[in-house]
Each structure stands twice: as structure tokens, then as C-alpha cells.
Amino acid sequence: MLRFLTRRAIGAVLTLVIIAAVTFFLFFAVPADPARLACGKACPPELLEQARHNLGLDQPLFAQFTAWLTGIFAGRDYAGLGHCPAPCLGYSFVNRAPVLETILDRLPVTVSLTIGAAVIFLLFGVATGIVAALNQGRPLDKITSVSSLVGSSLQIYFVGTLALYFLVYENQILARPQYLPFTEDPLAWAAGLTLPWVVLSIIFTAGYTRMTRSTMVEQLGEDYVRTARAKGMKARSVTLRFALRGTLTTVITIFGVDLGALIGGAIITETTFGLQGLGRLSINAVTDSDLPVLMATVLVAAGAIIVFNIVVDALYAFIDPRVRLN
């Protein structure tokens, strides 16, 4: 297991370096001028050239990437324009602050949104999928299938807008969506995120229901499940010990990808409910041509997906005994 995790960690680092290189060269190929952002719109030509020199923009592109990559571990000084201590993901001249500070300020919002919604859609999605599989061909299965199909067809901005109007503004059933730190007031934290959790989980629950049902039906038809039944094992034990464990490998695989993507920023959900998380941060970075922030959000999203994939691979051995990490 340790050898496996070491190999995956080394592969993850190499993957992040490749993603960082591709992201850097793509973003620095756009017309936006970081020196102009640092100096200001009314910056005289001589000051603009000085800013470009201080930022290292007069160096070859590969040298700029090397300096940026080195700055992640050693920090970087922008010659009077700003200092970015290690670990440095860049310096935002729009916010006049190190990018890492901005990321860490927005990250709790996105993590809170992701964790709450993930708990809901994973539990409800898997549970309804199991119920549908165990009642295959019956009315309950058909109702669940139709409901999941409708749910997966809905869009967050549509459901979110309706939910805001009817549940918050019109009838005051739920609190207005907002983020308050968990450490300050856990109840207010949960109340402010309840509606975003529910709306975000509706879309994902439908997908997990369909996936769990189809995988569970397939597992129930496997030879080892039929053998267990033939030996007289109770139906509940067969479902939990064999069919469910085989189903969870598929569910956990998709869950790792979804969780990593949501940590990278639930853009539509955060925009719909006015939450200032990583998703909104990336949108603002695109609007303001804030390349360092945009690059950092891409790296955070990629890093989250890679890390959760490693965790999922490690969990396979505990969920399914047929899996061997060789």
C-alpha cells in the first residue's frame, strides 16, 4: 500500500507540473498585459516598461515559467510592486495581495458548500438506487427512474432561482443563502447553506440514483451473489456484504471526481446564490483578466481531483476484496 501511494504521489506531482506548464503558457499567450494591470491604465510608457522588467515579463517565456514555478516553493519578490511569500501561487495586481491569501479566504465557502451537498446526494442517491434495484420492474422502480431522469434534466440556475423565490423571498421558509464561518455559529452556518446544499444535491442525486441502480442490478446477477443465495444466506446479508460492496467501487470512483471538481469551484451554484467561493473567484478573475488568480484556481481544481482520485484508489482495497494494488 505504501509503495502504491508513493508512486501515485510522484505521479500526482508530475501531473500538476504538466498542468501548471500548460496553464501558464496558455494564459500568458492571451492579449492581457500583467504589467498594465500592475501599473494601472494611466501608466506612462517608461513606468510600464519598468513594471514589465520588475515582473520579469521581458524575459523569455520559459524563464518566466521557471521563475513562477520556483516562486511556489521559495516565494517571490516583485521589485517593489509586491512580495509573495512561499508557498507563492503568484501575486494579484487586481486585488493587490498574494494569490494564496485570496484562495484561502474563499476556500472555506466552497468546501462548506461541497461537503454539505456531497453528504446529501451521496446518501440519498445511493439509498434510492439500492431501493430501485431491489424492486426492479415494480412501480417503485419506475417512479424512481422517472424521478431521477427528471432531476438530471434540471439546471441549477433554474431550480435555484425558483427555490429562492418561493422558499426564501415569498414564504420565508428557509434562510437567505449566505456564508458564516462554522467556528462562529454552526447553526447559522448550516442555515445559510441549506438551500444551496439542497439545490446542488438535486442534480447529483439523480445521477447517483441511476448509476447505483444499474450497477446494483448488474451485481445482483453475478455468479458469486447467486451462489451466496443458493447456500441459504439471507437476502439482506447478500445485498450488504456482496452486491453493495461491488456497487460502491463504481460509486466511489465517480464520487472522487465529482468531489474534486466541486472543490475546484461550483461556479453556477455560487453565482446563483451569491456565495463568494472559488467559483465566483474564477469568474471575477476572467472578467478582470487576473491571470495569476485564474491560474491558481485551475491548479487548485486539478490538485483536488488528483488527490481525491488517489484516495479513491486506496479505498478500493477496503471496499472490494477482489481489488489488489499491485
Of 35-39, 64-68, 222-226, 230-234, the poorest mean pLDDT is in 35-39
Tell me how far apart the alpha carbons of residues 274 and 102 are, in angstroms, rounded to a whole number: 17
Q: What is the pLDDT of residues 262-300, one digit of tens each?
A: 887 688 889 889 999 998 898 888 887 777 888 888 888
The 10 Å CB-count burial string (b at 16+, else e) for 208-229 is bbbbbbbbbbebbeeeebeebe
pLDDT for the residue numbered 323 = 58
- What would you measure as the largest C-alpha separation in the chain, in angstroms? 86
Dump pLDDT digits (tens) for 111-154.
Answer: 999 999 999 999 999 999 999 988 888 899 889 888 888 888 88
Name the H helices within 2-93: 2-27, 34-39, 45-54, 61-74
**In this predicted model, which residue has the larger pLDDT, 1 or 159?**
159
Report all structural domains of the chain as residue ranges with CATH numbers, in order of start.
104-156+194-323 (1.10.3720.10)
Of 283, 295, 288, 294, the residue nearest 38 (C-alpha): 288
pLDDT of residue 78: 65
Q: Per residue in 72-101, pLDDT tens?
A: 877 777 655 566 777 778 777 777 788 888
pLDDT at 68 over 50: yes
